[in-house]
Structure 1
């Protein structure tokens, strides 16, 4: 197909299997292309045959004189080789390593054959690596050495950092940047042997620029090997960290002074921007710590004074608590005595209630008797009235008898002698009637007197009955009051029992409080010791001069005089109220 000899054809077939091949006429029109080329560019053969080479190039490039000159050289039979940027189908960017080879017949070019390999991935990686190296070179100091340490080249950043020009350092040894004493050590010799053996070394190093100026660098020494794995040069990437190391040195000194208790040291020299905030934070921290330590010192004094005051108060409180416990014990005993007295009063009130009930019953029975007596007197009065009536009848009979006797005497007188006997009888009857009338009058007088006496008796008995009824009513009222007193006494006894239990509970709580007060007292004394220890520790710190507030003086101890026991007064009042003797109070005084 290429019009070559049979051997040449076999060679071209072999090349076609591994490379992309395309043929153009001298004007750049596509004649044919193999499968590798079509696959690389993403086209089918029928899509490109007859088209111009420019379809694979950027339009801006095809309009340049360089592009026209490119085909003019090929038309004269000059070949061209290199890495080319081309556009595949869909304007996909690819890179190829290619050679454009004019083919001649009879000494005259008639077509161009291009052999190409797709190097897009490698080209992109190379561009990326180159960009990275350029970026590093723009931001870092870069210098290259032989494996023995001789300087090959250096970028501008390095020269500016060290204060040299490239001409001043090229060919010189790395040792010109080091302390002479260090370059004579085994460590320095070992440093370059390790690099020559391919060992990577990175650290912070102190170096010296032009004029002996000390410079700190953050650097990485990178051995570069050839195809045989042999180190042929060392590339160092470095960053000038002098200002950072200076800041670290200043900060380290300030921290050492801080560790020794000096809180007056601040760092006033500005740091590099990346560390300036650290300096400000350190100064702020030291200032704040100094203020805090001042406050702690002042508070320690106040705590010492306060703990002393608390200790005194706790001691006083402890004594008062003990006294209160004793008073509560007395109160508990007094309440027990009161409970006994109230129980006795309740018992006596019960007995009084029973006696009042008996009295009420007797009064009620007496009232019944009086009512019966009144009824009997009424009957006697009625009988007296009946007797009086009978006596009246007798008196009338006597009066009539007297009249009859008088009439009989008159008749006897008229009868003369014949009537003398009858007259005598009539006279005797008259006398008898007169005596009967007289006796009836006397009986009537006695009956009237007796009736009056009975009336008086009835009145007195009636009054007695009313008095007994009032007595019964009053005894009932007394009984109600006595019952109320009994109930109240029982409630008082119950209440006093509960109060006694509450006082016992209070006594136990007071005993526990007394124990806790003792613990609090011990704690306050320990606090005073700790405050003194804190003041001793604070004395190690050197603080900025500043007026200190005076610690508060301990307050005076509270008066621990024993208060009068209320139990003694309570026992006395109860004893008086219930008729007890003064011996109870005396016994409590002894207690």
Structure 2
């Protein structure tokens, strides 16, 4: 679609453009010959102050003395090519300003460059927000890494504790089996003691009969006494066996109690680690929400 603008329309068009956009014009000596108020203010000057200033005035030394600076102007003045990019310039007070700029050469009828026009948008605030947001995202990323590392360590400790609990549980089972065997032995010994008691009663009964039969003649009692001595010895030995088994039971019981205490300690330690892990993942959630907020900011800025 072609537009044919008369002089008045062209004037209105350029006036509107100069009002809304930051515009500056340089001659081939790279000096300012025109700047609208928007561009002058962005660079910290009045429109009167900025006139005749050299382009280098708005650049930092590192850029001025670089090969890129000479190439930049050669491209505009010699190759007659336009330039568009994000650039860093220096305000009157020395502060940095970031501009999204378009430079293009103005040619006369002989195809010679007579001026260079620059149209720019001040994106300093946008870039600062972007930079701050990127830093927050990086900090959040570091936080996620720390949380992940901490979480893995706690999970490792928890895993080892659970292994210890499993070992303690196995030890408890072994101790319980030993207790069961000792109890069976005691039961067997009690049966023997009961048998000895029955035999002792029988001997006692027979001794009574013998005493009634022989009267004062007690020669037959030597046999009874001997048998009673044997039974006493057997009872003593059985009692010793019971004592030893009871000691074994006590020892195994102590082991079970110690294992139970250790098991409880391990369980408590695991519980503490789980709680700490939950706190870490709560922080992880908060970090994720923070990242989401930052992503929203980035989206709005762009």
TM-score calculated relative to the size of structure 1 = 0.25
TM-score calculated relative to the size of structure 2 = 0.47
- The higher-RCO structure (CA 8 Å, 6+ apart) is 2
